């Protein structure tokens, strides 16, 4: 198979020819049709997440077809269209797993970080963490739902039911969740990099009530806010923007340091929360509402060999919506 491997942190991925992997007991092998390029991939490549498996094939927003089924797998069969997300394995026995909080498992494995992912023509996955998808559908548009969509959905649920919601960092996740929030009847306020007129215009095409720079105050107090950009100083900015009792959710796996801020902007029962990983229950909920919300994906596809270019474009913020590799 062909794959883009990370062999050294902070260095470009290397296009490699590797033996085809085989599905072991409880696993399936999937022929990759599309793999989204996520900001988490940047954190892996840039060495901002600790102890990745090296060499590693990144990528955890995977859509493809099962082409080999390991022993003991009954729920999946060859030819099925499936999705593979970030959470690739949980132990099932730690206190978090037993409590139904598998996203906090003590001994997890993560696709594209501690087990090989989808920047490749094939990938092997634990069948328990492979989601059946409708047989028909656009693979490129579906791929970003496997992380940007799922983490966005978990963040939206944790943010609460407030009607006025702010989204800081209007990339792949925000452009999906803005549409879900609008379908729910909420007013969405989009915050982009200061001066990003094109990004603000894009946000408005998705029905946001307001779009401006992250250095601006919204025209009215927010009930809650989700921070997708990995920028610590946005936390106090969002706290200032939410009303009394409001909640600020940090949706990223990595963020720059949060600067000190006066207690008065946290006071009056404002809350700061983080989101970690996802659960299979999140996926079941989210994929059930995707067709109801009529989400329209904006994607930029790249061939597999141009993965480094796709990562660079994502890093620089030159793209609208989601970035997807097509092997």
Q: In the chain, how long is the greatest CA-to-CA distance? A: 58
Q: Is the pLDDT of residue 243 over 90?
A: yes
Q: Evaluate if residue 208 carries a pLDDT over 90.
A: yes
Q: What does DSSP say about strands 109-110 and 87-89: parallel, antiparallel, or unpaired? A: antiparallel
**21-47 residue pLDDT tens:** 999 999 999 999 999 999 999 999 999
Residue 116 lies in a domain: yes
Residue ranges making up the domain that contains 70: 2-145+278-285+297-326
List CB contacts of 74: < 8 A, sequence separation 6 or more.
Answer: none
Tell me if 176 is assigned to some domain: yes
Indicate the pairing of strand 131-132 with strand 81-84.
Answer: antiparallel
159 and 113 share one domain: no
216, 94: one domain: no
When pLDDT is cut at 50, 70 and 90, the band that residue 318 belongs to is confident
148-183 pLDDT per residue, tens? 999 999 999 999 999 999 999 999 999 999 999 999
Report CA-CA distances (Å) from 181 to 43, 204, 292.
27, 14, 12
Q: What is the mean pLDDT of the chain?
A: 96
Tokens of 182: 């609008």
Domains identified in the chain, total number: 2
Q: How confident is the model at residue 19 (pLDDT cuts 50, 70, 90)?
A: very high
Are 14 and 127 in a shared domain?
yes
Give me the pLDDT at residue 284, please: 94
Radius of gyration of the chain (CA): 19
pLDDT of amino acid 68? 98
* Rounded Cα–Cα distance for residues 244 and 174 (Å): 24
Is residue 156 domain-shared with residue 139, that is, in the same domain? no
Q: Which of 130, 11, 9 is nearest to 63 (CA)?
A: 130
Asked if residue 81 and residue 196 are part of one domain, the reply reads no
Segments of 6-136 assigned E as strands: 14-17, 27-37, 61-69, 81-84, 87-89, 109-110, 122-126, 131-132
Q: In Å, how far are 102, 154, 247 from 106, measured between CA atoms? A: 9, 20, 27
Quick one: 161 and 211 in the same domain?
yes
88 and 6 inside one domain: yes
On whether both 29 and 138 belong to a single domain, the answer is: yes
Of 69-83, 111-125, 310-324, minimum mean pLDDT range = 310-324
Average pLDDT rounded to a whole number, residues 291-305: 95
Among 33-42, 44-53, 295-304, 315-324, which is the least confidently predicted range?
315-324
137 and 226 within one domain? no
Q: Which of 323, 324, 321, 43 lies closest to 170, judged by CA?
A: 321
Q: Is residue 268 situated within a structural domain?
A: yes
Are 61 and 33 within 8 A, CB to CB? Answer: no
Q: Are residues 83 and 188 in the same domain?
A: no
Residue 103: predicted pLDDT:
97
Which secondary-structure segment (H or E) carries 69? strand 61-69
What is the pLDDT, as a whole number, of residue 65?
Answer: 98
- In this prediction, residue 319 has a pLDDT band, given cuts at 50, 70 and 90, of confident
Model confidence band, residue 79 (pLDDT cutoffs 50, 70, 90): very high
Supply the pLDDT for residue 170.
94
Residue 292, in any domain of the structure = no
Q: Give the model's pLDDT for residue 316.
A: 86
Nearest C-alpha neighbor of 58 from the set 304, 315, 270: 304
Query: Is it the case that residue 222 has pLDDT exceeding 90?
Result: yes
Sign of CA dihedral 8, 10, 16, 18: positive
CB atoms within 10 A of CB 91: 14
Asked if the structure places residue 92 within a domain, the reply is yes
What's the predicted TM-score (pTM) here? 0.95
Residue 320 confidence (pLDDT): 87
Residue 290 within a domain: no
Q: Are residues 112 and 9 in the same domain?
A: yes
- How large a percentage of the chain has pLDDT more than 90? 98
Whether 116 and 235 map to the same domain: the answer is no
């Amino acid at each position: 198979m062909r794959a883009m491997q990370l062999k050294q942190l902070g260095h470009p991925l290397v296009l490699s020819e590797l033996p085809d992997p085989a599905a072991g007991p409880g696993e399936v092998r999937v022929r990759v049709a599309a793999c989204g390029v996520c900001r988490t991939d940047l954190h892996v490549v840039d060495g901002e997440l600790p102890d990745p498996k090296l060499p590693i094939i990144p990528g955890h927003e995977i859509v493809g077809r099962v082409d080999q089924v390991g022993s003991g797998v009954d729920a999946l069969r060859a030819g099925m269209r499936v999705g593979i997300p970030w959470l690739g394995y949980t132990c099932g026995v730690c206190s978090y797993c037993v409590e139904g909080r598998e996203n906090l498992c003590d001994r997890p494995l993560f696709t594209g970080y501690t087990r090989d992912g989808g920047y490749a023509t094939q990938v092997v996955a634990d069948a328990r963490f492979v989601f059946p998808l409708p047989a028909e559908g656009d693979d490129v548009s579906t791929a970003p739902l496997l992380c940007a969509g799922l983490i966005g959905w978990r963040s939206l649920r944790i943010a609460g039911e407030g009607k006025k919601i702010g989204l800081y960092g209007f990339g792949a996740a925000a452009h999906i969740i803005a549409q879900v929030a609008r379908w729910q009847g909420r007013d969405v306020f989009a915050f982009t990099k200061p001066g990003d007129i094109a990004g603000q215009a894009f946000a408005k095409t998705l029905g946001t009530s307001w779009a401006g720079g992250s250095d601006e105050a919204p025209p009215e107090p927010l009930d809650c806010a989700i921070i997708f950009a990995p920028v610590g100083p946005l936390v106090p900015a969002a706290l200032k923007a939410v009303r009394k009792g409001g909640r600020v959710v940090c949706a990223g796996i990595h963020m720059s340091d949060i600067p000190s801020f006066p207690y008065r902007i946290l006071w009056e029962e404002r809350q700061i929360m983080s989101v970690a990983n996802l659960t299979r229950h999140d996926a079941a909920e989210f994929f059930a509402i995707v067709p109801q919300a009529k989400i329209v994906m904006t994607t930029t596809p790249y061939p597999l060999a141009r993965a480094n270019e796709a990562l660079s474009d994502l890093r620089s913020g030159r793209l609208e919506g989601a970035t997807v590799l097509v092997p």
